[in-house]
Structure 1
Amino acid sequence: MTTAAQFASVRYLVDDVQAAVDFYTTHLGFTLRSNPAPAFADVTRGPLRLLLSGPATSGARATPADLGTGGNRIHLIVDDLDTETDRLRSAGVAFRSEVVRGPGGRQILLADPAGNLIELFEAAR
């Protein structure tokens, strides 16, 4: 089995998780990797892991309201979210959200200099 660290993960916020799974697996050659809850699934195609997050997921709740319908971002897995946020805050990096806890773990959003979102994610233990 391929581990999560071997993928490049991108989170897409979707209105209907099952419809998104059906679309990506039927039309674009993705394979369902996991669907642990109706609010979330992930599909893969080669080294791309697409995280399909419905409105009830922590990923959707963490998105700042001023982004409108946007909210797609790079998803980076970290071992210790608290250590990473402390390190980045010490370096002067500003965050776009507070830490949000959900069924799969905890996450926080920051933006690159161009405003592109990056999610730091620590899986539930």
Structure 2
Amino acid sequence: MSTSSEYAGVRYLVDDVQAAIAFYTGHLGFTLHTNAAPAFADVVRGPLRLLLSGPTSSGARVTPAGAGAGGNRIHLTVTDLEAEITRLRDTGAEFRSDVITGPGGSQILLADPAGNLIELFQPAP
């Protein structure tokens, strides 16, 4: 069991740990927690600890067949989605969808340098 003082961890496999660190800390408000590049680093934002596993890390071992993969992504809530989109486009960030709006709010997908997905979400008023 985790306590409220622990992070929730998500592992992303990345091709370039330094590029991932720069992306998450420079564009999405994460703080560097551990830097063991080129193999591994982790960054935090609030209660999220994002583990960035490079090709030489143990976390980058091949996922067993049948384990599945899909549209998994981290979900970051923002207060002004359009402003975030503009800011990130100005940095050359790669978006993977258009803005989608539903009853709960609006969202867009972007990719980190290794192609992992991040959903930026603005709740409906």
TM-score, with length taken from structure 2: 0.47
TM-score, with length taken from structure 1: 0.47
Structure with bigger helix share is: 1
